[in-house]
Amino acid sequence: MKSALILAQMLCVISICWAQSSRAPGRIEAEYYVAAYAQHYRVPVALVRAIVARESNWQPCVISPKGAMGVMQLMPATAKRLAVTDRCNLDHNISGGVRYLAWLMRRFHNDLRLVAAAYYAGEDTVGRRGLAYRNLDVVTYVRAIRTTYLREAGAESESKNTTAKRDVR
């Protein structure tokens, strides 16, 4: 009985450590799809990474109280519009989310503040009010996306600079 209890505790500790690991296999797969789809649809990788970090913290099948689901937290109507049938599938979810971001970028003329606000609050709401939209939740969300975006963009340029320096012949 005591050994079964110890085994159960060890399994709990291992599962907690695995869940908290920032580079779990699901995250590695998600990062691959983020980079691939962002490049394909010409959306800044740093923006997609910032949205994913804020929306789901890289958890593949998180469900919000409002019904958004998956790593990019697609709402049912948005997923349907983008032909995403399995919102928990990393490939489908990220493909749909990045396509939606690309569409928002076209609609809001690449103003990433409005793109982030529309991703969070809905394109119709932000489309009507633009930068005059002052909902505190949305302002906080956009600020968090901006902070993460700048950090991610800095990390990307650092890695490119490091590679370029090593490649000098």
DSSP label of 67:
S
Is residue 55 part of the annotated active site? The answer reads yes
- Residue 12, sorted as left (phi over 0), alpha (psi -120 to 50) or beta, turns out to be alpha
Ordered alpha helix ranges (H), the chain: 2-20, 25-41, 45-56, 76-81, 90-107, 112-121, 123-129, 136-166
Q: What is the C-alpha separation between 82 and 58, in angstroms, rounded?
A: 21
The amino acid occupying position 163 is T
User: Distance between terminal CA atoms of the chain?
Assistant: 66
| Candidate list 55, 152, 156, 158, residue with the active-site label | 55
Contacts of 72 (CB under 8 A, 6+ apart): 51, 52, 55, 56, 93, 94, 96, 97, 98
Catalytic residues: 55
